[in-house]
Amino acid sequence: MRSVAGGTRSPPVSPQSPPNPGDEGGATHSPERGTSVPLPLRRRAAGLIAALGLTASALALTPGAVPAAHAAPTGGGSIVYIKDYNVWITDGDGSVHRQVTRGGTAAAPWRSPSQSDAGVVVAHRAGAIYRMNQRGEVFNAFYPPALFDAIGTTLSGRDLTETAISPDGSKIAYTYYKYSLSKKRWATGFTASDRATDPTKYDIAFFDKPSWVTNSRVVLSHWYRNKAHLFDLGGRDIPWFNESYYTPNAKELTDLEVSRDGEWTVGVRGDVGDQSVVVIHNDGDVRTSAAPWTPVFGVTNPCNIGLADGNLTSPTIAPDGSVLAWAEPAGVFRSSGMTCDPGTRVDIMVAPGGSSPSWSRAAVGQTPSVRHFVAKKRPKVLGPARARKTLRVYAGAWSPAPASVSYQWLRDGKRIAGATKAAYKVRKKDRRHRIAVSVTVRRTGYYVPATVTSTAVRVR
């Protein structure tokens, strides 16, 4: 059933228009480089209004037009999604919308958004991962480390296709894809969310579409796209199930997600043009067990949500497990329950024109603010500025105290290769040049890294 007053659907009212293009806001932060290591036809609702843009600085929320009869359940939390090449956010009933990022284009779109329980949003663009709040204010950005696929081919840069932040916000799963030697090949790695870290710490999985089950387990799609795998960080790969476990009409299975309580699994079955959402009730532990429950043929009875044009993608389950959402050509829809019966299920469009939805416990507006360091005393170069002498750096005084400090020595404002320690031995070629040092401080959480450069000294 399609919910709309006296008709088929119930779209939210259009959000407000965006402010002038020159207004500030929206994910503009230079990424850091990581260390490289070997995604019947629907009837359109009468009067469906195309959603307009909101910048990250627009704080006003727009009430929706969802009939009260269908207002509950809405699942709680919020959904991040892609629209017009940018990241947006809405609540479970589509009554409020905010644009998170800006600047996305067809040539350089934002992709694969997800959100932690605390309201930290992660998405990627042009090969870099950005970590930000719901207002699009960036905490940090970096190029994730390169990975290798099952045959040893290096994947990096714009091979990046998927990102997913863990519920606690501490880690990011990321996937590279490349078509190589007549085959599609994927590799998924894991990094700390506040900086690029060595992916070998948690091991590499040769599958795609990572979705967090817990803070230490993800569900992945097998690279042949016909089997689900559970992967525990640290390297335990658990082949889980495929469609032959519960139906004789087995199809490709991908884009899986497990509900936060472990009760439900959803995924996309079929290939492009024949895609539908399968909904499976889990009758055992899939969150922690090394031998997780699997569907049983003739016992497990999954249901299926489909369209005549076969184009449903990105299923995602509400944090309370009561409803699910998915994308189709018209936008993002939310069901009225976990049933597939079109006679009792009511689908409500929550994001016209949206795609790639991902649901989180964080409510719209529940998001941390960017925090900044204050340099109480600037860094300073210490020691005699003469050839064969050693210069040292006073890192300055900072509030709050940084967790880590890094250095880059400069000659006439340009980086000196390899000069990244707290001391620098002056060379003959430094004579009559000016030497300075840039000090960068970092702290875990929501602090933006800060860099201050000392006053330069002239080498005699």
Residue 60 included in any domain: yes
pLDDT value at residue 16: 31
Average pLDDT, the chain: 85
pTM, full prediction: 0.81
Alpha-carbon distances, residue 249 vs 215, 225, 297, 299, 304 (angstroms): 34, 15, 12, 16, 13
Q: Is 146 a residue whose pLDDT tops 70? A: yes
Half-sphere exposure of 449 (CA within 13 A, CB side): 20
Are residue 75 and residue 182 in the same domain, yes or no?
Answer: yes
Share of the chain above pLDDT 70, in %: 83
Residue 100 included in any domain: yes
pLDDT tens-place string over residues 364-390 = 999 999 999 999 999 999 999 999 999
Least confident interval from 13-22, 258-267, 346-355? 13-22
Least confident interval from 97-101, 179-183, 417-421? 179-183
CA dist., res. 98 & res. 135, Å (int)? 8
Residue 7 DSSP code? S
How many CB atoms within 10 Å of residue 74?
21
Q: Is 60 a residue whose pLDDT tops 60? A: no
What pLDDT band is residue 36 in, cutting at 50, 70 and 90? very low
Q: Is 6 a residue whose pLDDT tops 70? A: no
Q: Which long-range contacts (CB under 8 A, 24 or more apart) does 282-288 make?
A: 282/258, 286/213, 286/230, 286/240, 286/258, 286/262, 287/213, 287/214, 287/217, 287/258, 287/262, 288/214, 288/217
Q: Is 95 a residue whose pLDDT tops 70? A: yes
Are residue 317 and residue 235 in the same domain, yes or no?
Answer: yes
Are residue 317 and residue 394 in the same domain, yes or no?
Answer: no
Average pLDDT, stretch 132-149?
95
Are residue 131 and residue 220 in the same domain, yes or no?
Answer: yes
Higher pLDDT, 10 or 109: 109
Q: Is 173 a residue whose pLDDT tops 70? A: yes
Q: Is 391 a residue whose pLDDT tops 90? A: yes
Domain membership of residue 419 as a residue range? 374-458
Instruction: List the CATH number of the domain containing 444.
Output: 2.60.40.2700
Are residue 416 and residue 318 in the same domain, yes or no?
Answer: no
- Which of 306, 327, 360 represents a domain boundary (last residue)? 360
Average pLDDT, stretch 105-125?
98
Share of the chain above pLDDT 90, in %: 71
CB 51 within 8 A of CB 353: yes
Identity of the highest mean pLDDT range in 23-32, 53-62, 129-138:
129-138
pLDDT value at residue 132: 98
Q: Is 24 a residue whose pLDDT tops 50? A: no
pLDDT value at residue 256: 97
- Which of 336, 360, 384 represents a domain boundary (last residue)? 360
pLDDT value at residue 30: 60
Residues in the chain: 460
Are residue 328 and residue 394 in the same domain, yes or no?
Answer: no
Structurally, the chain folds into a number of domains equal to 2
Instruction: List the CATH number of the domain containing 174.
Output: 2.120.10.30
Are residue 302 and residue 440 in the same domain, yes or no?
Answer: no
Q: Is 38 a residue whose pLDDT tops 70? A: no
| Terminal-to-terminal C-alpha distance of the chain | 82
pLDDT value at residue 326: 96
CB 422 within 8 A of CB 393: yes
Least confident interval from 121-125, 218-222, 301-305? 301-305
The single residue listed with the structure tokens 């439900």 is 264
Q: ∠ CA 399-402-407 to the nearest 5 degrees?
A: 115
CA dist., res. 327 & res. 188, Å (int)? 23
